[in-house]
Amino acid sequence: MRHRVSGRKFGLPSDQRRALLKGLVRALLIHGTIETTETRAKDLRSVVEKVVTTAKTNDLHSRRMARKVLNDEDLIKVLFETIAPRYANRPGGYTRMTKIGFRRGDAAPMVKMELIAD
């Protein structure tokens, strides 16, 4: 039974899975929109929501918590100075997933993941 077990394995060891999600978070925050598979986007959504919600309280502890995921000082600065203030009055739901079809090679369902412009 897998009651209350969250997250997907993606056929990867845990360290590679965390690295995959961290890379996707960084790409989404840098570019504002990315194209990825639907299952990756579903797991990515929870990580991005937590990072942006943490960044809304602009203090030292929240910067250190964001650094655990982002590991890039320039990106942390962008997150705290431009991205988080955009969502100051929004209680959640910072991302949007739009289905864009199927990947040609393996027919995996693809989505366009983007930060909502608020």
> Residues 32-60: what's their mean pLDDT?
96
Looking at residue 103, its pLDDT comes to 96
Structure confidence at residue 87 as a pLDDT band (50, 70, 90): very high
Looking at residue 83, its pLDDT comes to 95
- The rounded mean pLDDT for the chain is 96
Domain segments of the chain as ranges? 15-115
Distant-in-sequence contacts of 91-95, Cβ < 8 A, 24+ apart: 92/49, 92/53, 93/49, 94/48, 94/49, 94/52, 95/28, 95/44, 95/45, 95/48, 95/49
Question: What does the alpha-carbon distance between residue 15 and residue 18 come to, in Å, rounded to a whole number?
Answer: 5
Residue for token pair 């579903």: 42
Q: Which CATH number is 15-115's, of 3.40.50.1370, 3.20.20.10, 3.90.1030.10, 3.40.50.300?
A: 3.90.1030.10
Looking at residue 117, its pLDDT comes to 86
pTM for the predicted model, two decimal places: 0.93
Pair of tokens at residue 59: 């203090």
Q: How far is CA 112 from the centre of its chain?
A: 12
Name the residue among 6, 10, 5, 84 with its Cα closest to residue 49: 84
Given a cut of 90, is residue 118 above it in pLDDT? no
Report the share of the chain in percent with pLDDT over 70. Answer: 99
Question: What does the alpha-carbon distance between residue 49 and residue 47 come to, in Å, rounded to a whole number?
Answer: 6
Element (H, E) at 102: strand 95-102
Looking at residue 113, its pLDDT comes to 97
